[in-house]
């Protein structure tokens, strides 16, 4: 597919060049407002104000608890009140295709902060890098979503189709914010502006969080043999989970993940057990994360976990009588994929090629992201955004050199997709 700049695209690109500092300023504003799980309100106020000032019909609302009953919902355990989703609609004049630009506003904890050499909330710029928690994942993407309609306005360009800008909560632990959006706003395509460094996330795994509670019997350690040590009873369960990880990686590889090393990952991320060196621990709990290929179900993955743990328990005299209790929290969602031949993806790829001079390469994510909910609703969706590194790590940074090219590719694509007037 070949594309070439129309007068509207040329005007928008000139506006992007003219206001490049304002785009970076918006990213910095967002980074300086911390937005950890449960504390998303202040930054969402900024987002809603920004959309309103541009002139979009803007709404903020708290998620309803009924979302928890939807397929592929998760449960963070944090009440929804006071942590709104935000959307702004730039209504087109008619006759064009609609587009969602989606981004998550939540960030993961910067802890341990002592590992950072910069202020995680400082948005400090050194050379072509902006440092900060969320600078890369993904406040840069949210800022692009906010600024594109403003740049269109300032360049005097109207759209034929609707543009819907969405800023969602809970991407990092459940996806409920995007799930809610996917049920509210129909559209012809959706781009999630996660930081992909100019590649297109075309497939990604599903993710399931689960907990395994193992019980023992507390006793004074001077007669430890009279108790049952819940920590040592967790060992065969941990070994069974390691075997499950190996088995899942021995299954036929989903074609989108061919060549990726160890695509399925079962992580035992948290262990709680015992509280005193001289007491036999009476309880131990594991918090785990397991991924699955697109097309595999949450129910099927839960069944595989339950089978593996039950087999291990049956081989142990104590665990046979006191089976570990499995519960599910956080993520509980299947993965998804979008065809590189989808018209929206092909068109974005063509504009990326023109701007960047390189092909928009497909990538498959071994982590989860919000694009899935739009694909589940029949709205073709992939991730495309700026570059940088160290997401979820100390000294996370955004490559500022990628901001203007990403804005130009996305902007030209949206003009082409929605139609300009």
Residue 390 CB, nearest approach to Zn ion (Å): 13
Pick between residue 138 and residue 151 the one whose CB is nearest to Zn ion.
138
How many residues bind Zn ion (CB under 5 A)? The answer is: 3
Residue 267 CB, nearest approach to Zn ion (Å): 18
Pick between residue 138 and residue 237 the one whose CB is nearest to Zn ion.
138
Nearest-CA neighbor of 218 among 273, 283, 271, 272?
283
Restricting to residues 180-219, which ones interact with Zn ion according to CB under 5 A?
A: 194
- Tell me how far apart the alpha carbons of residues 267 and 369 are, in angstroms, rounded to a whole number: 18
Q: Token pair of 155, please?
A: 């360049």
Residue 26 CB, nearest approach to Zn ion (Å): 17
Residue 417 CB, nearest approach to Zn ion (Å): 23
Binding mask 317-346 for Zn ion (x = CB under 5 A): ------------------------------
Restricting to residues 120-139, which ones interact with Zn ion according to CB under 5 A?
A: 137-138
- Tell me how far apart the alpha carbons of residues 384 and 201 are, in angstroms, rounded to a whole number: 7
Residue 192 CB, nearest approach to Zn ion (Å): 8
Residue 269 CB, nearest approach to Zn ion (Å): 18
Pick between residue 51 and residue 105 the one whose CB is nearest to Zn ion.
105
- Helix (H) / strand (E) element for 318: namely helix 317-321
Pick between residue 88 and residue 195 the one whose CB is nearest to Zn ion.
195
Pick between residue 170 and residue 194 the one whose CB is nearest to Zn ion.
194
- Tell me how far apart the alpha carbons of residues 320 and 312 are, in angstroms, rounded to a whole number: 9
Pick between residue 233 and residue 289 the one whose CB is nearest to Zn ion.
289
CB atoms under 10 Å from CB of 143, counted, come to 29
Binding mask 79-118 for Zn ion (x = CB under 5 A): ----------------------------------------
Q: Which residue is nearest to Zn ion (CB)?
A: 137
CA-to-CA dists, residue 325 to 73, 150, 280, 297, 419, angstroms: 21, 52, 20, 21, 55
- Tell me how far apart the alpha carbons of residues 182 and 372 are, in angstroms, rounded to a whole number: 9
What Rg, from alpha-carbon coordinates, does the chain have?
23
CA-to-CA dists, residue 368 to 12, 79, 336, angstroms: 33, 22, 9
Pick between residue 13 and residue 136 the one whose CB is nearest to Zn ion.
136
Instruction: List the beta bridge partners of residue 228.
Output: 217
Q: Please provide residue 419's backbone torsions phi and psi, each rounded to the nearest 5 degrees.
A: 85, 135
Q: Would you count residue 47 as binding Zn ion (CB under 5 A)?
A: no
> Which residue ranges make up the site for Zn ion (CB under 5 A)?
137-138, 194
């Amino acid at each position: 597919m070949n594309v070439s700049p129309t007068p509207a695209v040329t005007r928008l690109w000139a506006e992007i060049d003219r206001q490049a500092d304002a785009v970076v300023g918006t990213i910095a504003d967002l980074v300086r407002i911390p937005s950890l799980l449960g504390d998303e309100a202040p930054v969402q106020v900024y987002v809603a104000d920004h959309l309103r000032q541009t002139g979009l019909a803007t709404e903020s609302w708290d998620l309803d608890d009924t979302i928890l009953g939807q397929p592929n919902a998760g449960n963070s355990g944090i009440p929804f009140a006071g942590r709104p989703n935000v959307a702004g609609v730039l209504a087109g004049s008619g006759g064009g295709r609609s587009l969602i630009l989606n981004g998550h506003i939540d960030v993961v904890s910067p802890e341990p902060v002592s590992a950072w050499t910069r202020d995680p909330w400082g948005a400090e710029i050194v050379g072509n890098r902006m440092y900060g928690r969320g600078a890369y994942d993904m406040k840069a993407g949210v800022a692009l979503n906010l600024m594109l309609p403003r740049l269109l306005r300032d360049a005097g360009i109207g759209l034929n189709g609707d543009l819907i800008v969405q800023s969602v909560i809970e991407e990092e632990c459940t996806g409920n914010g995007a799930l809610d959006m996917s049920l509210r706003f129909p559209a012809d395509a959706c781009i999630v502006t996660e930081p992909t460094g100019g590649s297109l996330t075309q497939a990604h795994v599903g993710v399931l969080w689960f907990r395994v509670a193992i019980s023992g019997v507390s006793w004074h350690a001077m007669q430890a043999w009279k108790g049952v040590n819940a920590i040592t009873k967790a060992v065969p369960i941990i070994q069974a989970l390691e075997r499950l990880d190996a088995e899942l990686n021995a299954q036929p590889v989903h074609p989108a993940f061919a060549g990726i090393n160890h695509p399925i990952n079962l992580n035992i991320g948290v262990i709680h057990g015992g509280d005193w060196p001289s007491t036999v621990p009476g309880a131990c709990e594991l918090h785990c994360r397991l991924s699955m290929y697109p097309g595999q179900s949450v129910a099927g993955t839960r069944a595989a976990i339950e089978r593996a743990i039950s087999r291990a328990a049956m081989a142990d005299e104590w665990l046979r009588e006191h089976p570990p209790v499995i519960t599910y929290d956080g993520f509980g969602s299947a993965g998804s994929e979008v065809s590189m031949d989808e018209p929206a993806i092909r068109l974005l790829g063509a504009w990326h090629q023109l701007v960047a001079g390189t092909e928009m390469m497909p990538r498959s994510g071994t982590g989860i992201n919000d694009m899935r909910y739009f694909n589940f609703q029949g709205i073709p969706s992939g991730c495309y955004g700026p570059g940088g590194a160290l997401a979820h790590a100390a000294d996370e940074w955004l490559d500022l050199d990628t901001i203007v090219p990403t804005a130009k590719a996305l902007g030209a694509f949206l003009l082409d997709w929605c139609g300009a007037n």
